Structure formats: C-alpha cells, structure tokens
Chain A
Amino acid sequence: MTWVMANLGLIAERALSHLGLAVPAVIASFLLSLPVGWFAHHYRWSRTALLGAAGLLYAIPSLPLFVLLPTLIGTGVRDRVNVIIALTLYGIALMVRSVADGLDAVGVPTTSAATAVGYSTASRFLQVELPLAGPVLLAGLRVVAVSTISLVTVSGVLGVSSLGLLFVDGFQRGIVAEVVAGIVATVLLALAVDAALVLAGRVLLPWTRRSRPQGSLVTP
C-alpha cells in the first residue's frame, strides 16, 4: 500500500499510456470492422469465409505478433504504433461478427420500408441500419474494449509503457505491491471503460430503453 501511495503519479501515467494504446485500437477495429461486417451481411456467400478469416486472426499468439509485426511494417519493437496495430487486428477478429450479426438483426421489413420512402443506400446505412444494429454493436464493442485493455498488458514485456509495465517491472524487481497494483488497475480500467460504453449506449440508443409493450395504449 505504501508503494501505491508513493507511486500514484506513476500509476496514473501508466494508466493514461494504457488508454492511449487501447482506445485507438478499439476505435480502429470498430471502424475497420464496419465495411467487412457489412460485406459479410450484404453478400451472404462471403459470410462464412470472412467471419472465419476474421476469427482466425484471434488465433495468432500475441507476443510473437508484437515481436514480428515491426519487421513486417518497419516500425521499432517498442513503437506504440506497432502495439496499436496488433491490438486492432485482435479487435477486428471479435468485431466483424458483431457487425454482421447486428446488421442481420435489423430485418428486411424495416430496410425495405426505408428504401420505399426514399432513403438512398448511404443514408439508409448510416441513419437506419447502423443505429438499429446499435445494441448488437455495443455488445460486441464492450467485449472488444475489455479484451483489448487486458491484451495491452502483454506489450509490457517489450517495455512499452502501460499498466502492464508495472506488472513486468514489479516482477523483475520483486515489488509485489507493484505487480498487484498493475493487475488491479488494469481490471479497474476495464470496468470503467465498460461502464462508459454502457452509458454511451443509453445516450445514443434511447429507443431501446423506452418502449412499452404494444397495445398498452388503447386509443386507436
């Protein structure tokens, strides 16, 4: 505990670096999964192949990826971009399926009604399909966020700054409190980000929490 009290500044700094790796990776994997998931949803024949390929990304062991990626993309091993790209790949592996499932869940009657009243393909995707896929997208995004925050710690082994570095450093120097602080702070960070996402969902998807059962209002 004394170690924690004496190093609050360091923990905060590491937590910020941690977020600096996780947040861009989560955002990038969300954005990149949208076109891939849309393709899998829209062209049924591609679905199995695309979801399978995306899922395979998750099978790549993380430490070797962190080490090998720089030789492929020409960055340094400790380069933060390297870590963000690797995390993005894992995020895509989880998120593509959520995008495809979420778009599937919208339902033909609604999309066809949107087309009939005059939505263009683009406005229909952005204003109808994407928001209606929202609950499924959010569920996927929560998994990606928590899993990314946990995966970031692996990069600590390489010496990249994050809460994982506390863990690695504490282990090397035999400071148990630092190890525990690294683990607890990672879990707390994941919980906080998850809570923020739930809150964002409440604000952005208001119709999901307001509906009353049909027919409860009897005036015709």
Chain B
Amino acid sequence: MPDARMIEFRSVSKTYPDGTVAVADFSLVVPRGQTTVLVGSSGSGKTTLLRMVNRMVSPTSGEVLVDGQDVAGVDPVRLRRRIGYVMQESGLMPHRLVIDNIATVPRLNRVPKASAHARALELMELVGLDPAMARRYPSQLSGGQQQRVGVARALAADPDLLLMDEPFGAVDPIVRAELQAELLRLQRELRKTILFITHDISEALLLGEQLVILRTGGEIAQVGAPLEIVADPADDFVAGFVGLTGERRLVVRRVDGVDIVVDGSGRPLGQVAARG
C-alpha cells in the first residue's frame, strides 16, 4: 500500500542568494492520485515551491518528501526522470522532432528507439494530437499544440507525479479552455498525482481537487476543496482572491417566477435548475 502522501513539504523556506525570500516556512501534504493546485499572484513563490520537488531548487531549510523519501538524498537526474514536468513556454527542444521530444525520457532511460517512438505515437493520440505531426519540429506547431506535446512528453515514462507550472498560461483563452478540458479528461483516465500551479483562480477552481491559496512569500492563506473555499473563505484576502467581492459575487434573482443567477455587474449567467 503506497503512502497516501505523494509529496510532503515540511517547513521549507527558500532565500535566493540575492536575499529574496521566495518561500518562508511552507508545509503541505499533496495527496496521491489527485490534482492539487497552488494558486497565487505572480511572485508568490509558486515556481520556487514546484522546483523544490524535482530538485531544480534546493530549499534553504526544511525538507521535501516524495513517496516518503527526502529528495535531498535522491539523485536529481533519476528523480526528474520519474516526475513529469510541464512548463509554460512548452520547453520543447527546438532541434528535435515532435516524436523525439515526446520520447525524450524513455530514450534517456535507454528504451530502444522503436518502442519509445511507438509509445510516443500512442501518447500523441492520448493528448489529442494528429500523429501526422510526429515528424514536425516544435516551431511548426501552434502554441496549443506545443503544450499538448509538452504534456505527452511529461507522460512518456508513465510517472506517478506530474508537475505543471502554468502550462496553459501563454495560450489564447479558447485554446486554454480546450486544454483544461483535455487535462480533466486525461486525469479521469490516468489518476496521476498532479501538482499544478497557476495565477488564474478560474483555472484553479476548475482543475483542483485540493486548492492551496498563497499569499506572497509562499504563505498559505487557505487549503481546501474548491467548494469549501468558495463556501467559506478563511478571510478577506481569500474572499477577494476567489472573486467573491467582484465579478464572481453572484446573486439569485427571481424574474417571472424563475430563479436566475446574475454576476457582480448584473449580467445574467443562467437559470437555477435545482437547489443542493
């Protein structure tokens, strides 16, 4: 029976050499098989926290456990090969074909080329990419397609854990909505542990099973399921962050005998179908 705690941050802090305190005394358990979303404004320490998990950043104090093991004692290269990583600007290797980009980690692990490529083609289908794109270079793809390749690459070695650093932050809203829906579908199928970071509260509410709302310095303002946080924000900061004071301040109004919902600026959003 594997540990239910996939990742555990134990009082970690990070002070960069220039004196910036990016994270101070942060503790969190990331449960296995769920999507945990860290949400906070830019500069709140999200990337720093995420990079502590795969040892791209080492904490100044405290420890990070993955699968119950302090990552400080794990070979960083091996660690990274068993953790999928998806970043904002795709981070694809511009000189390698799409199929080779996806096959990167299996190939680094010395999986024979033919089987690594076969797996890459399966993954292209899984993430909704036309296999005809296998022989293109990343620069020949749209931003949304590049992000799909990034997700496929992260899944190639079938890791238990995926780290996603604002993966849909640089694509236009329509494509972003598609990618979010695709990730939800994938996660229903795969049940990975996903640690996802974003500054977009709508994205966090949509994707997160556990939500972690951060202030600057990686200070946790509230942890909980999206419904809990919206129903019972811990303080004014959280309430403001999830938008309960602005656009997302929804009101039920009775018009011609029907309950309809309007947002903060009075725009109708829909009818109330049922209560509960």
Contact = CB atoms under 8 A, between A and B. Distances in A.
A128 B95 CA distance: 8
Contacts of A112: 56, 91
Given A109-B89, A118-B81, A132 B95 contact: yes
B140 A116 contact: no
Given A110-B91, A210-B140, A220 B104 contact: no
Contacts of B80: 115-118
Contacts of B139: 207, 211-212, 214
Nearest to A212: B140
B87 interface: yes
Interface stretch (B3-11, B30-38, B141-149, B264-272): B141-149
B137 A211 contact: yes
B93 interface: yes
Interface in A101-129: 109-110, 112-120, 123, 128
B85 A116 contact: yes
Contacts, number: 82
Interface residues of A, number: 28
B94 interface: yes
Interface string A176-195: 00000000000000000000
Interface of A: 109-110, 112-120, 123, 128, 131-132, 134, 205, 207, 210-212, 214-220
Contact of B93 (A110, A118, A210, A218): A110
Contacts of B81: 117-118
B175 interface: yes
Contacts of A118: 77-78, 80-81, 104-105, 108
14 contacts: A112-B91, A113-B91, A114-B93, A116-B56, A118-B77, A118-B81, A119-B77, A128-B95, A132-B95, A207-B94, A207-B139, A210-B137, A215-B143, A219-B130
